[in-house]
Every structure is written in C-alpha cells, then in structure tokens.
Amino acid sequence: MKKILALLLALCMVFALAACGESKAPEQPAESPAAETPAEAPAETPAEEPAEKTDMRVAMITDYGDITDQSFNQTTYEACKAYCEENGVDFTYFKPAGDTTADRVAMVEKAVDEDYNVVVMPGFAFAGTIAEVQDEYPEVKFIALDVSEFDIMSAFENEKDAHLASNVYSAVYQEELCGYMAGYAAVKMGYKHLGFLGGMAVPAVVRYGFGFVQGADAAAKELGIENEVAVEYVYGNQFFGDADITAYMDTWYGEKGVEVVFACGGGIFTSAAEAAAKVDGKIIGVDVDQASVIDSNYGEGMTVTSAMKGLAATVKHMLSEVAAGNFANYGGKVENLGLVSGDDAALNYVQLPLESTVWNDGFTQDNYKELVKAMFDGTVTVESISDASAMPEHSITVTDYGNIK
C-alpha cells in the first residue's frame, strides 16, 4: 500500500511540474520589456531586417557560357554570390541544358518552383525568355543585363503583344565608349597593327568593335599616322574558343604581324591568347578586367588593357534596391549605362582598369583621365552602331573578314 501511495505521489509531482512548464511558456513574450513598452518598439526594427532579407531569394541563370567563363557569366555569378553572402540572402544558379529559349525558360520555371523570387539573367539571349515569363510570374522580379528593349520587343511573335512588364529591369551598356577607349589607348601606346576578334555579331559586340575602330582611327589621326595603322576585323560566330579559331589567330599573329587583338566575346579570348603566347603577342580583354586570368594562364604582361562595363556594380546595386523595396523605381525600364563622371573615371559604367592597364609614355593614366573627361564633356564623341554591316567612317586601314565560321 505504501508503494502505491508513493507511486501516486510521484505521478502527481510530474504532472504538476509539466503544468508549470506549460503555463510559463506563453508568459515569456509578455515579460519582454520591448513588448510591454511602446517607447522601445523601434529598437526591434534592426532585429527584424534579417528576416525581411531572407524573404528575398536570388537565382542566376547562365546564358551561352557557364560560371567559369572568366567573363560575362562568371562576373555576374560572383557579384550575385558576394552580395547574397554578405546580406544573408539565399542564392543559387541554374545552367540551362541547351542554348534555346525553351531551355532558359525551363530554368526560370525551376527557380520559381524552388521559391526564388529574384532572377538575374545576363546576356541578350534572354530576350525571348523575358517575353515568355514576365507575365507568367508577375510576383518575380527579373534583373537582366545587356538585354535591350529592341531585343525584348523583337522576341514577340505578334507585334501588338510586345511590351516590357513592370517586374523586369534591364541594364544595357554603351560598349562603344570603352571600345573606343581601348582602340585609342592601343594606338597611343605604339601598336599599329591591331585585330578585333568578336564572338557573334550581336549589337553589344558590334558596338564594342566599331567603338574600337573609331578610337584607333582618332588616335592615328592625332599622331598623323593614319597610313600606318591597320585593323583586322572578324567574328568567330561563337562565344568560345576552339582549334579553328586558334589557327585563324595564329595566322594573324604570325603571317599578318598583328601585334594586339581585342578579343571580345565570352570565352573566345582563349583562342587569341593561345596564339599570342606563341609569338609574344598582346591581348585586350573585355567586359571585366581580364589581366589576372589571361596573364596567369598565357603569359605575364600579355594583357594590355580591358574594355570593361560595370556588370558587378549593376548587380549589387539592383539587388540592394530590391532588398530596400525600391524595385518599383526600376521595373519596366531599360537603362543605358555609360559615363557618369568626368572627374573620377573609376565611377563610370564603362572604363579601362586603372591598376592593370600597361600604361606607357605614349598613353599614361593621366592621358586616360583626360580622354574620359573629354568624352564626358562631349568634346570627344563616339558613334553608337549596332548594325554589323555599317562600319564607321575611318582613315586607317580596316579589313573586315565577316565570320570565321
């Protein structure tokens, strides 16, 4: 009997303790000074910010290349990743199975299915994707790079349906300006036999190339050597290097005596660099500062300069604006980014790298800054041409070979 009473007593104590635990749990928020004191409520705001940021989930989708292309895709990927890691935002990327709009749309669908609500898309190839998905996913914010309004409108089968939705923002760049800078710098530095190797003759690449020709022509005129400067001009018709394009570049650097090639088009620079390495030739990089990549893999000092556009700056700015709730200020717009300062060249969305460019007595860093100021002020003007058949007027010798393939 004593054992039974003891057991009953023990059970009563357990239930009592459990009941105490349950009764205290809901009381905890009421005991919080912040909850009880309205004057202290604003102190909760910083604590709530991380929760709001985690609501933003970012996905990037690659275009023709992948995140190791050492150019457009890689720069976009690294900028997205850096921002998201710094701000506690979920991030991933998707690589389409093939090079079609259907493949890219499938990756957008996959991203949305996995609850990503901000999708970053680099490259004009996403025009068709935007046309298909912008209305299908109105709650998703799409950030595109280098997709022009013309590209998007042209992607619609019915012209009457063509539109840009309020959940889409695209940044395009004035590539002709940094192309001009690169061509001007090359001739001023003493190079007289130049080459332009474009990826495909799409508007952005054409603007780079024709800006390059205009810059080389202007520098040659200033130096009075128009008859001595020549530009070999060709498109590989793809955004990656291969044996055929390398062989073509071998001919340029070897038989033709080309000194420096502006390799403009994703991974196609590899073919130019492989050929340059055999004869101590030079390269001009594109989109980002490619000096570290090219020089470390193909030869120290190979990269003369790079014609850059602010991909990373655009990505980080737009993601921060989304996080701040300001996307409505950008949605439905295509911004054409170029020069924003004549005094600080590093602030511009198109520029040459100050640190890695191989400045010399013919073209110093100060000379570059003077050029940028003149371009910003309008003293120096550059024609923006997107039509591959409309080569700008020039006094130097330009030989256009069309496509390698």
Percent of the chain with pLDDT strictly greater than 90: 81
- Mean pLDDT to the nearest integer, 391-405: 98
Taking residues 85-92, what's their average pLDDT? 97
Pairing of β 230-235 and β 168-173: unpaired
**Cα separation of 104 and 279, whole Å?**
40
Mean pLDDT of 93-102: 96
d(CA 260, CA 250): 12
Beta strands of 24-80 (E only): which ranges? 57-61
End-to-end CA distance of the chain: 100
> Lowest-confidence range among 38-47, 231-240, 342-351?
38-47
Q: What is the mean pLDDT of residues 306-317?
A: 94
For residue 394, the model assigns a pLDDT of 98
Name beta bridge partners: 307: 286
pTM metric for this prediction: 0.80
- Residue 41 confidence (pLDDT): 33
User: Helix, strand, coil shares of the chain as percentages rounded to 5?
Assistant: 50, 20, 30
Q: Which of 210, 201, 137 is nearest to 179 (CA)?
A: 210
- 52-79: average pLDDT: 85
Q: Is the pLDDT of residue 93 over 80?
A: yes
Query: In whole angstroms, how far apart are CA 353 and each of 17, 130, 288, 386?
Result: 70, 32, 9, 25
Average pLDDT over residues 9-38: 35
Please say if the pLDDT value at position 313 is more than 60. Answer: yes
pLDDT band at residue 219, thresholds of 50, 70 and 90? Answer: very high
